[in-house]
């Protein structure tokens, strides 16, 4: 297992996603919180499980918690979750915003 950290933007993404879901359906928000936690735990065990996404930067990979795309970077000894973005949004633009993180 490798440690998993979240970028500041990934933390903001999750806060906003879960807050929006909670405002409409708290049980659904709870289910997604569990799904996100389970996916992050899986990344700790299997950091190369996601597909490579070179169009978003060196060593960037992605995996899904449908309909959300979880972007991360695996650098051998740790995983950093970069962003969590709804799949229908402009992924390229939003990933470019986080390049300075």
69 sits in which H/E element: strand 68-74
Residues 83/94, Cβ–Cβ less than 8 Å: yes
13 sits in which H/E element: helix 8-24
Residues 73/83, Cβ–Cβ less than 8 Å: no
pLDDT tens sequence for the chain (101 residues): 999 999 999 999 999 999 999 999 999 999 999 999 999 999 999 999 999 999 998 899 999 999 999 999 998 899 999 999 988 776 677 777 765 45
Burial of 44 (0-12, 13-18, 19+ CB in 10 A): middle
48: tokens are 């190369």
pLDDT of 90 = 66
pTM of this structure: 0.89
Half-sphere exposure of 85 (CA within 13 A, CB side): 18
Candidate CATH numbers 3.40.50.2000, 1.20.272.10, 3.40.50.11540, 3.30.2310.20; the one for domain 4-97: 3.30.2310.20
């Amino acid at each position: 297992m490798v440690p998993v950290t979240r970028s500041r933007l990934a933390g903001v993404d999750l806060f906003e996603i879960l807050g929006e879901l909670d405002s409409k359906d708290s049980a659904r928000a709870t289910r997604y919180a569990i799904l996100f936690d389970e996916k992050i735990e899986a990344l700790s065990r299997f950091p190369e499980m996601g597909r490579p996404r070179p169009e978003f930067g060196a060593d960037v990979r992605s995996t899904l918690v449908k309909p959300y795309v979880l972007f991360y970077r695996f650098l051998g000894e740790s995983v950093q979750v970069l962003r969590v973005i709804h799949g229908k949004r402009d992924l390229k633009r939003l990933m470019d915003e986080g390049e300075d993180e």
